[in-house]
Amino acid sequence: MGENDKKKKNAKSAYLRALELVISRSLIKYKIYSKQLLHIGGTELAIRKIVTHPAEILEKSCKAVVSFDKKLTSILNDMYDTMIEFDGVGLAAPQIGLDARIAIVDIDDEFGTIEMINPRIIETSGEQTDPEGCLSFPGLYGEVTRPNFVKIEAFDRKGREYTLEAEGFLARAIQHEIDHLDGILFTTKVSRFLEDDELKGVEIE
Ligand code: CO
């Protein structure tokens, strides 16, 4: 295959991957909208309002979860719907106004949606510097240096403890969300804020 053909093929597969992502996101959104329709007349909406900076709830250390009950399940479900609706790759409970150590991450990889309740970082190593954004800071992006590897312990929605190891972008997203639970915002870790023309493809957490 000639160099040009290779380029064409690469461009085509990148295009297809992007298309797949758009389709899967649209399907998820469709699922959410159907769910919302079911909620008409009800008391609960699946998509919650995002708290943006400045707000007290974003800068305090959140309380540990003690009951793994229906309320927790409903919060986690709403957090997922909200994260997808606003095209984020992660969301922490204080970002929907809740004082609770609950966070989720989904970077569209094989891990799927990671639900972290009362998470603790037990090991980190290495270093990575990359752009970061946050749903609580619309339109603001900056470079943040974080450990490249992270090992955490957390509980799932049923109260089962698990250990998870992650690296690269997933490790970044996990650390960003756990920071939220301690009232630490990414802006306090930014080494350089990014200009509009540098923003292509930056994910928001
Ligand atoms: Co954030």
The predicted model gives 45-57 an average pLDDT of 93
Q: Ligand 1 mean position to 149 CA, how many Å? A: 19
* 159-179 confidence digits (pLDDT tens): 999 999 999 999 999 999 999
Q: Structure pTM?
A: 0.80
Q: How many CB atoms lie within 10 A of CB 113?
A: 15
Which pLDDT does position 43 carry in this prediction? 45
pLDDT band at 117 (very low <50, low <70, confident <90, very high): very high
Q: Ligand 1 mean position to 31 CA, how many Å? A: 24
Sign of the Cα pseudo-torsion (177, 155, 78, 75, in order): negative
Residues serving a catalytic function are 177
* 14-47 confidence digits (pLDDT tens): 555 555 555 556 656 655 555 555 554 444 558 9
Q: Ligand 1 mean position to 163 CA, how many Å? A: 22
pLDDT band at 135 (very low <50, low <70, confident <90, very high): very high
Can you tell me the distance from the alpha carbon of 149 to that of 178, in angstroms, rounded to the nearest whole number?
14
